[in-house]
Amino acid sequence: MPHPAQDHQALQESVNNLAVAVAIRSLPLVLQTFLTTDLTIQQLKVLSVIVTSDRGVAIGRLVSQFEVSMASMSKLLDRLVAAGLATRVSDPSDQRVRVMEATTLGRAVVRELMATRPELGENILARLSLDELRALETGLGAISREMRNLSG
């Protein structure tokens, strides 16, 4: 008789293998999205950090996190501001400190680039049966819950 822990481990391995296979098949479409952006990888990384912050990110923290000079970070941030993707604001708790906040456009750009999931596109989902869609919804809901628990 199969052991529940062994079943769980075997299913985990199968899901992981399937996720890798899907990621590999999706890669050409994901890369295409990145290749069509005018942002550099460094700008995208910095913008992503800014977007994921609830209260803005101190410029000094970005300098430390990315291990670049203040001058280099200032130039990069100037480009993000000029593109309308981010804005410099005063920290409400300390008016002397400047923080970076994402604009609505900046959030939309990161969402579009990072959320590119061709495997969950309408053309793929429309081909799944109702039972498959329900199972996928259940599984993705469980993954979302556990990721929320990890970050909370």
Question: For residue 74, what pLDDT band results from cuts at 50, 70 and 90?
Answer: very high
Find the mean pLDDT for residues 10-14: 90
Find the mean pLDDT for residues 107-129: 85
41 vs 26: CA distance, rounded Å: 20
Q: Indicate the helix (H) or strand (E) that contains 145.
A: helix 130-151
Mean pLDDT of the chain: 88
pLDDT at residue 126, rounded to an integer: 93
79 or 148, which is more confident: 79
CB atoms within 10 A of CB 9: 11
Q: Are 109 and 20 in contact (CB under 8 A)?
A: no
In 22-151, the DSSP E strands lie at 57-58, 86-91, 94-102
